[in-house]
């Protein structure tokens, strides 16, 4: 009687192990297929969203020319109005469709800043900063925003952080992300623009930081602050 039970038990254990082995093998073999399906769905979703966004693509060439010329943007040039370029609506939609892309929030924030909507600008720039904490221009513009609104301590903290971001890091993001690359392609010498503008921005950051520290410590400074000469910049 004992030997029969022993053989039955051994058979059941062997069969169980065999089924477990088959299950593990099938799971292992299926995983790449599952990953492929997930990636394909994501790609399809990305393409679909990009198509939706492309229907309201603004005039990037005009934006590039204005940036290159140091143009002071008016609210009508950025807001959603009949016959306008619709920059703000484009980046609002972009942030809605692709919330993981920091530059959509960043560019939206700059549009709000140019239009004088500081609370919305702050919110968008902060969202951008949460996604990408090493982009120079986010810190610079947010620091400028806080300085203009009288939040000196916050401005000092952000401008100090901007000082510590090496220019090559910012250049990498400008080249790697499609939103920036599209605008840069319309500039005749984008490399020269980026390098010279970052050098200029470094000096502006230092000046603004020194001014903010002087204000905090109630000291005089040789640096003159003219609000009309300190405008937000796209990059």
- pTM, full prediction: 0.75
pLDDT in tens, 165-221: 988 888 888 887 777 888 888 888 888 888 988 888 888 899 899 888 888 887 777
* Three-point CA angle 129, 141, 60, nearest 5°: 90
Note the pLDDT of residue 46. 63
Out of 92-101, 140-149, 212-221, least confident range? 212-221
Render pLDDT for 1-32 as a digit per residue (tens, 0 to 9): 445 665 565 656 666 655 555 555 544 544 55
pLDDT of 91 > 80? The answer is yes
Q: pLDDT by residue (tens digit) across 153-169?
A: 999 999 999 999 988 88
Section 85-89 average pLDDT: 79
Q: Which residue has the higher pLDDT, 60 or 37?
A: 60
Determine what percent of the chain is predicted with pLDDT higher than 90: 23
């Amino acid at each position: 009687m004992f030997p029969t039970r022993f053989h039955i038990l051994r058979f059941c254990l062997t069969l169980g192990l065999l089924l477990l082995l088959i299950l593990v093998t099938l799971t292992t073999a299926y995983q790449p297929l599952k990953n492929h399906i997930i990636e394909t769905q994501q790609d399809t979703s990305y393409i679909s969203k990009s198509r939706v966004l492309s229907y309201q693509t603004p005039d990037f060439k005009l934006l590039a020319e204005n940036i290159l010329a140091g143009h002071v943007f008016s609210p009508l040039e950025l807001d959603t109005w009949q016959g306008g370029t619709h920059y703000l609506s484009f980046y609002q939609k972009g942030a809605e469709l692709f919330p993981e892309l920091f530059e959509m929030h960043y560019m939206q924030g700059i549009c709000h800043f140019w239009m004088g909507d500081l609370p919305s600008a702050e919110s968008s720039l902060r969202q951008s900063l949460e996604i990408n904490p090493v982009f120079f221009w986010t810190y610079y513009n947010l620091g400028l925003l806080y300085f203009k609104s009288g939040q000196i301590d916050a401005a000092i903290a952000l401008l100090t952080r901007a000082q510590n971001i090496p220019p090559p890091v910012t250049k990498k993001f400008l080249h790697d992300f499609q939103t920036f690359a599209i605008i840069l392609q319309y500039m005749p010498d984008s490399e020269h623009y980026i390098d010279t503008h970052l050098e200029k921005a470094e000096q502006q950051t230092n000046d603004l930081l020194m001014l903010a520290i002087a204000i905090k410590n109630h000291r005089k400074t040789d640096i003159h602050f003219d609000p009309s000469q300190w405008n937000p910049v796209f990059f």
